[in-house]
Structure 1
Amino acid sequence: MTETVTQTDHERGSAPAPPPRGRHGRRTVLVASALVVVAAVAVVGALGLGGGGGQDDSSAPPRSGSTVPVTRATLTERTTVDGQLGYGTEIPLPVKSTGTVTWLPTDGRTVERGGTLLRVDDRPVVLLYGTLPMYRDLGLTTGTGQGTPGTRQDAGNEGDAQGTRDAQGRADGTSKAPAPSGSPAAADVGAGGTAGTGGARSTLRGMDVLQFESNLAALGYTGFTIDEEYTDATARAVKRWQRSLGLPHTGTVGVGDIVYSAGKVRIGHAGVRLGSAVTEDVLTYTGTSRKVVVNASAAEDSWAVRGAAVTIGLPDGTSVKGEVASVGKKATDPEEGGGEGGSGAPTVPVTITVKDQKSVGRLESAPVTVEYVGRERADVLTVPVAALVALAEGGHGLETADGRFVAVKTGLFADGRVEVSGSTVREGMKVRIPE
């Protein structure tokens, strides 16, 4: 029978195992010692001591790890100012009618050629297109007080015989006496013709006649020659036009019947109420195209040149193209306007048009930004602004890829880049971007 004997460590004479607490304490001391050594090495490295004898290691990585080339480009300085989108400043309509206002349009309504702007004594005041204001009645008159003797026209064709008589009358200095009121001759003339020798009519002449006849033809009332003469044929067309407006068919247009503008208008607000007498500010208007007005600093308005292109930033973050249309010639008082940014500096109004009205969407009024081009430097050496370093001796410099520093002169800053120049700077040279 075999007997198995098991010896303990103590019986084999081996040293007793250290208690667990002693093992843990020894590991703690070793770890702490290692941390002290690592920290010491880090301090020595930071001070540039030991190992390398204080010399830089050429294989050491750069501080940033990135280099960029010096490039040749065109730098453009862009500046952003605040503006206001709208329809422009409202101005009074030059209404020359006298009487009582019996109808007014709603604010914001668009009126085109031939449309009614308002009614005075229940007569329409009509919008026509033109730059010459209405300053007199237009129509055929008796005698020779206005214009020169007229000629009879049938459907726009001039009568040779009547023209000869008119020419003879002008050469002799004579004129025909007007037909008595209520006579057959007068009635015939009132219908638009020149009756025999008993009723002479004088035609108006002038650019205002040409402007009016051009509008009349554009509205579809023709049968006359568009020129500077208001003839019988013109009067007949006017009667047809008056019939469509519900007016008496007189063939004469009163000075208060028409208001001229350069194009269609947008009604602003009424300065009177229904039933009031017509005043100078009875109704205001603007153009129908939205535009932007910037109160630009009078000291920094060199960018505001008619035709200059700008970029308009809308409230929704989109941008549209604009163009400077006009620049005010009178600066505001510093105490009144407050310049850009509320600085109180004198300002001038700059009006900017938007060619693509659809790009503005449905906005009618909103604060916007206007970005314009200020200075520009073409074909210059540039680097990112972040590549510039401040030199101990003053000024700016660049760090080359091999760790050297070269002084540079800076120029225009734009779009995150800067213009640099100097005897040691060349296109394609690699420079570091410091951290």
Structure 2
Amino acid sequence: MKRKPWVLAGAAVLVVVVAVVAIGAFGGSSGAQDEADEGAAALASVEQGRLASRVSDTGTLGYAAQPDGTPYSVVNQASGAYTQLPSAGDEIGCGESLYRVDNDPVPLLCGRTPLYRSLNEGVSGPDVRELNRNLVELGYAKRSELNGTENEFGWLTAAALAELQDDLGLEESGSLAPGDAVFLPGPLRITRVSATLGTMSQAGSPVAQATSTTRRVQVDLNPSEAGTVAVGDRARVVLPDNSTTAGKVTRIGTVAGGGSGSASGEESESTSSTIPVYVKLERDNDASAIDETPVQVEITTDRVENALSVPVTALLARAGGGYAVDSVGDDGQRELVSVEVGAFDNANGLVQVTGSGLAAGDQVVVPAL
């Protein structure tokens, strides 16, 4: 079981509230006051079993893009007039036409190295490796044929590339020049088109912005909560139609964002920095075409087996530090039992407790609803 620092998170507010109750519990009130207190309290059982520590907050369902959350930029290097452009919402696969210049398709090839030089027989490097990978995955070459020469542009690469160009309706040159294709991690989903149909293209001019086609949820957590989350943690996402789908934390931001602060430029107490946490859905189809939609995210940060737990509202803050619960015996006698707190299940309002004399099935006092 992984160990992480525990924080009070949302439960801290509840603890502050019950601290007021603790004043009466520790303070020797009158009999009449005791009766009033008992009338304003309820009982809850000490439970024993698996306790999951969870962080819950509202996130935004969208599409994954660059690691920092910004979209990919489709940059043109061809010369001529734009004769066809994509539309927002279009999904472009690897090897498909992204846009057209002078009616020649400019295909998307999937990779992270921009096409910054001409690729032809005799050259080698990581950009050639990405080209060869595209040709294999698109079915124009066999991996076994390129084994050991993945970084090299040989006659097999030229022949496979010529076949792809033929299928796209391009001249079968068997080589690539800057402007003949766009290399970006794909497939892509177009989010915004900045070029104008019929205008003359220029090298280095932006054509569009795009994301991947992979669904992702971004949830901004306060730093103390984000500190309990780890890559790989399981998540539960509640969609707008109240259906749920599973996900997994894939990335945690390292730069905190925050509120705008006050008009004077000083950050107000009500605004605080947050850390972005990214959750990948296990089943993209569950989210259909929903985009930029608020969703509820529940991240399980840890699990404790065979834990004793009580409602968070049962905790009483002791004047000298630490916590206690007000335990009620079978005979109705009340006793303050000091406890140490462990994992917080904020989603269900439970907290792990350990204390001498506290056992599963015991009754503890909680504020009445």
- 1:72 alignment partner in structure 2: 48
Match of 1:297 among 206, 222, 245: 222
1:398 is displaced (CA, Å) by: 1.2
Match of 1:266 among 168, 185, 189: 189
**Partner deviation per Cα, 1:4-55 (whole Å, 9 max, x = no partner):** xxxxxxxxxxxxxxxxxxxxxxxxxxxxxxxxxxxxxxxxxxxx9xxxxxxx
Q: Is it true that 1:405 corresponds to 2:328 in the alignment?
A: no
The 1:402–1:386 alpha-carbon spacing in structure 2 relative to 1, beyond 3 Å, is farther
Instruction: Give the structure, 1 or 2, with the largest relative contact order (CA under 8 Å, sep 6 or more).
Output: 2
Q: Is the 8 A contact 2:82 2:101 kept in 1?
A: yes
Q: Is it true that 1:86 corresponds to 2:13 in the alignment?
A: no
Q: Is it true that 1:424 corresponds to 2:357 in the alignment?
A: yes
Q: Is the 8 A contact 2:56 2:299 kept in 1?
A: yes
Q: Is it true that 1:371 corresponds to 2:298 in the alignment?
A: yes
Match of 2:128 among 198, 202, 209: 209
Give 3-state SS (helix, strand or coil) of 2:76's partner. coil
- 2:18 alignment partner in structure 1: none
Name whichever of 259-268 and 421-430 sits farther off.
Answer: 421-430
1:68 is displaced (CA, Å) by: 7.2
Counterpart code for 1:306: V
**Partner deviation per Cα, 1:235-286 (whole Å, 9 max, x = no partner):** 3443343333332333321122122233311112111211332454211111
1:431 is displaced (CA, Å) by: 6.6
Alpha-carbon distance between aligned partners in 2 of 1:262 and 1:106, rounded to the nearest angstrom:
19
1:419 is displaced (CA, Å) by: 4.3
Q: Is it true that 1:282 corresponds to 2:207 in the alignment?
A: yes
Between structure 1 and structure 2, the one with the greater Rg is 1
Give 3-state SS (helix, strand or coil) of 2:206's partner. coil
**Percent identity of the aligned residues?**
31
- 1:324 alignment partner in structure 2: 249
1:115 is displaced (CA, Å) by: 0.4
Alpha-carbon distance between aligned partners in 2 of 1:304 and 1:382, rounded to the nearest angstrom:
21
**Counting strand residues as a fraction of each chain, which structure ranks higher?**
2
Alpha-carbon distance between aligned partners in 2 of 1:428 and 1:300, rounded to the nearest angstrom:
31
Q: Is the 8 A contact 1:105 1:118 kept in 2?
A: yes
- 1:248 alignment partner in structure 2: 171
Alpha-carbon distance between aligned partners in 2 of 1:67 and 1:334, rounded to the nearest angstrom:
40
Give 3-state SS (helix, strand or coil) of 1:136's partner. coil
1:374 is displaced (CA, Å) by: 5.2
TM-score with structure 2 length normalisation? 0.70
Match of 1:357 among 249, 265, 284: 284
Q: Is the 8 A contact 2:326 2:365 kept in 1?
A: no
Give 3-state SS (helix, strand or coil) of 1:335's partner. coil
Q: Is the 8 A contact 1:387 1:398 kept in 2?
A: no
TM-score with structure 1 length normalisation? 0.60
Alpha-carbon distance between aligned partners in 1 of 2:281 and 2:353, rounded to the nearest angstrom:
37
Give 3-state SS (helix, strand or coil) of 1:281's partner. strand
Counterpart code for 1:409: S
Give 3-state SS (helix, strand or coil) of 2:89's partner. coil
The 1:123–1:307 alpha-carbon spacing in structure 2 relative to 1, beyond 3 Å, is same
Alpha-carbon distance between aligned partners in 2 of 1:217 and 1:422, rounded to the nearest angstrom:
63
Match of 2:233 among 293, 308, 330: 308
1:356 is displaced (CA, Å) by: 0.6
The 1:217–1:74 alpha-carbon spacing in structure 2 relative to 1, beyond 3 Å, is closer
Q: Is the 8 A contact 2:325 2:365 kept in 1?
A: no
The 1:366–1:213 alpha-carbon spacing in structure 2 relative to 1, beyond 3 Å, is same
The 1:233–1:315 alpha-carbon spacing in structure 2 relative to 1, beyond 3 Å, is closer
Alpha-carbon distance between aligned partners in 2 of 1:433 and 1:329, rounded to the nearest angstrom:
39
> Which runs of structure 2 are paired with 1:107-256 in the superposition (5 Å)?
107-140=88-121, 203-222=122-141, 225-226=145-146, 227=149, 228-256=151-179
The 1:243–1:355 alpha-carbon spacing in structure 2 relative to 1, beyond 3 Å, is same
The 1:422–1:281 alpha-carbon spacing in structure 2 relative to 1, beyond 3 Å, is same
1:324 is displaced (CA, Å) by: 1.4
Alpha-carbon distance between aligned partners in 2 of 1:107 and 1:362, rounded to the nearest angstrom:
13
Alpha-carbon distance between aligned partners in 2 of 1:323 and 1:247, rounded to the nearest angstrom:
42
**Partner deviation per Cα, 1:57-113 (whole Å, 9 max, x = no partner):** xxxxx999x987644334334332111111144221243334432210121111112
Alpha-carbon distance between aligned partners in 2 of 1:334 and 1:386, rounded to the nearest angstrom:
30
Alpha-carbon distance between aligned partners in 1 of 2:158 and 2:314, rounded to the nearest angstrom:
80
Give 3-state SS (helix, strand or coil) of 2:254's partner. coil
Unpaired runs of at least 5, structure 1: 1-47, 49-61, 141-202
Alpha-carbon distance between aligned partners in 2 of 1:434 and 1:251, rounded to the nearest angstrom:
77
Alpha-carbon distance between aligned partners in 1 of 2:254 and 2:301, rounded to the nearest angstrom:
20
Q: Is the 8 A contact 2:234 2:248 kept in 1?
A: yes
Q: Is the 8 A contact 1:297 1:346 kept in 2?
A: yes
Q: Is it true that 1:382 corresponds to 2:358 in the alignment?
A: no
Alpha-carbon distance between aligned partners in 2 of 1:269 and 1:408, rounded to the nearest angstrom:
61
